[in-house]
Amino acid sequence: MNSIVVLKFGGTSVGTIERIKATAEKIIEQKNKGFLPVIVVSAMGSTTNELLGMANQISHNPKPREMDVLLSTGEQITIALLSMALSERGYDTISLTGAQCGIITSSSHQNARIDNIDTSRIINELKNDRIVIAAGFQGVTGNGDITTLGRGGSDTTAVALAASLKAKWCDIYTDVSGVYSADPRKVESATKIDYISYDEMLEMAKLGAGVLHPRAVELARAYSVNLRVRSSFSNEEGTVIGMKNNMEKAYIRGVSSQDDIVRVSVVGVPDEPGIAFKLFKVLSENHIRVDMIIQNLNHNLLNDISFTTTIESINKTKEIVENFVSKIGAEGIKINDSVSKISVIGTGIMGYGETASIFFKTLSENGINIQMISTSETRISCIIDNASSQLALKNLHKVFIENVS
């Protein structure tokens, strides 16, 4: 069999009928070069948001299983239309849902993980010289229930298929020309990165560089998938993501911000062993993703414990923490949803003693107060007021990227 290539087209790239026709031409280019294309697509434009909006008009707490039945329809529209566009151009194609692609997932609806892919159907279709058009973002449980992989999850479908089909490469076609040193829509002077390691890309994706789904990067690293991000609107080279670290060239690769987070503070917690354990145990049992944690000793042997979590889980988190507060006799809970996390990312960042001080100096020179700090070998992140997020992003980019290169 010829080499398989996986090409993924995101929402904007298939956002209109014209875009779907243009996508068909990109696919035909690869097919005519002798490759066997497996295509993964997202829902058209803002379809997923519109579906979420409709559900929200009916219920603020819809069953996750029903949400998955609803959200998975977005991608199904695209696969059918793209398949029709390719047929019109005389190519033999077949559209397949996640279940038809053999993508078996866990049952955690709206955030399911891929357990296994039975590629036999796809392989058969490729053997019959058909272009396979797969719906991204979705799978099916062992019981046959439709699941989705979390927002932006089509990238993960693409990389998972590339890994299981041993594809020659996996191209993620999107609405920017590659991975940039900061979101090019927020920082005009951001520069395109030609090459970035899996590790650095994973940090960037986790810290708000929405151009790739973090789990897609994790999978690409685990299975050494040749991953590229490129524009569906041009023929530019894009960004290659791979194994090799390139730290001697530029140790800071990017700056990013995350605005979809909230800060939760549990106020007046008794200062005794086991309290933090109890709080974070109950949060983890309820699958609440906790990020930064900070504890300050206040007065009268009472502590405040603060942490950040995602905005989506705030209702559930509030309920759990309120319960906790009344059980252990703490003073209360404070929620601040106007915060942002701002980060600089690069291999071995903390090996350079100055990085943290330059980071804090830049924020202070711009009158930005730091609410929480966390560091690792590959990043420094601070929680700040979200009204200052853009200012911080631009100035950190200036100091760490523009003034260095």
Binding residues for ligand ADP, rule: CB under 6 A, are: 10-13, 42, 152, 174-176, 179-180, 182-185, 209-211, 254, 256
Among 48, 105, 256, 309, binds ligand ASP (CB under 6 A): 48
Q: Which is nearer to ligand ASP, 158 or 279 (CB)?
A: 158
CA distance linking residue 146 with residue 107, whole number of Å: 9
Q: Pick the piece of the chain touching ligand ASP (CB under 6 A) from 112-120, 147-155, 194-202, 377-385.
A: 147-155
| Residue 220 contacts residue 170 (beta carbons within 8 Å) | yes
- Give 217: exposed, middle or buried? Use CB within 10 Å, 0-12, 13-18, 19+: buried
Q: Which is nearer to ligand ADP, 44 or 283 (CB)?
A: 44
Q: How many residues of this chain bind ligand ASP (CB under 6 A)?
A: 12
DSSP secondary structure of 53-74: HHHHHH-SS--HHHHHHHHHHH
Residue 195, SS3 per DSSP: strand
- Give 300: exposed, middle or buried? Use CB within 10 Å, 0-12, 13-18, 19+: exposed
Q: Which is nearer to ligand ADP, 256 or 306 (CB)?
A: 256
Is residue 37 at the binding interface for ligand ASP, with CB under 6 A as the rule? Answer: no
Helix axes 198-206, 214-222, angle to 10 degrees: 160
254 binds, among ligand ADP, Mg ion, ligand ASP, none (CB under 5 to 8 A by kind): ligand ADP
Report the residue number whose CB is nearest to Mg ion.
152
176 binds, among ligand ASP, Mg ion, ligand ADP, none (CB under 5 to 8 A by kind): ligand ADP
Comparing CA positions, the residue from 238, 252, 196 lying closest to residue 221 is 196
Q: Which two tokens stand for residue 71?
A: 């959200």
CA distance linking residue 384 with residue 369, whole number of Å: 6
Site of interaction with Mg ion (CB under 5 A): 10, 152
Is residue 43 at the binding interface for ligand ASP, with CB under 6 A as the rule? Answer: yes
Q: Which two tokens stand for residue 353?
A: 């003693």
Cα dihedral 16, 17, 23, 24 in deg (nearest 10): 170
Stretch 67-126 residues interacting with ligand ASP (CB under 6 A): 74
Comparing CA positions, the residue from 397, 365, 358, 363 lying closest to residue 382 is 363
Is residue 42 at the binding interface for ligand ASP, with CB under 6 A as the rule? Answer: yes
Report the residue number whose CB is nearest to ligand ADP.
10
378 binds, among ligand ASP, Mg ion, ligand ADP, none (CB under 5 to 8 A by kind): none
Q: Write the Ramachandran bin of 332: left for phi over 0, alpha for psi from -120 to 50, otherwise beta.
A: left
45 binds, among Mg ion, ligand ADP, ligand ASP, none (CB under 5 to 8 A by kind): none
Q: Which is nearer to ligand ASP, 5 or 158 (CB)?
A: 158
Q: Which is nearer to ligand ASP, 114 or 368 (CB)?
A: 114
Helix axes 275-285, 314-328, angle to 10 degrees: 150
Q: Which is nearer to ligand ASP, 101 or 363 (CB)?
A: 101
Minimum distance of ligand ADP from residue 13's CB (angstroms): 6
Is residue 174 at the binding interface for ligand ASP, with CB under 6 A as the rule? Answer: no
175 binds, among Mg ion, ligand ADP, ligand ASP, none (CB under 5 to 8 A by kind): ligand ADP
Minimum distance of ligand ASP from residue 267's CB (angstroms): 35
CA distance linking residue 184 with residue 332, whole number of Å: 40
Can you tell me which residue has the tokens 């090996």? 351
Q: Which is nearer to ligand ASP, 151 or 316 (CB)?
A: 151
Q: Pick the piece of the chain touching ligand ASP (CB under 6 A) from 53-61, 148-156, 306-314, 344-352.
A: 148-156
**Alpha helices, DSSP H, located in 207-302:** 214-222, 275-285
Minimum distance of ligand ADP from residue 219's CB (angstroms): 16
Can you tell me which residue has the tokens 């003034």? 403
Q: Which is nearer to Mg ion, 31 or 230 (CB)?
A: 230
Q: Interface with ligand ASP by CB under 6 A: which residues? A: 10-11, 42-43, 48, 74, 136-137, 151-154
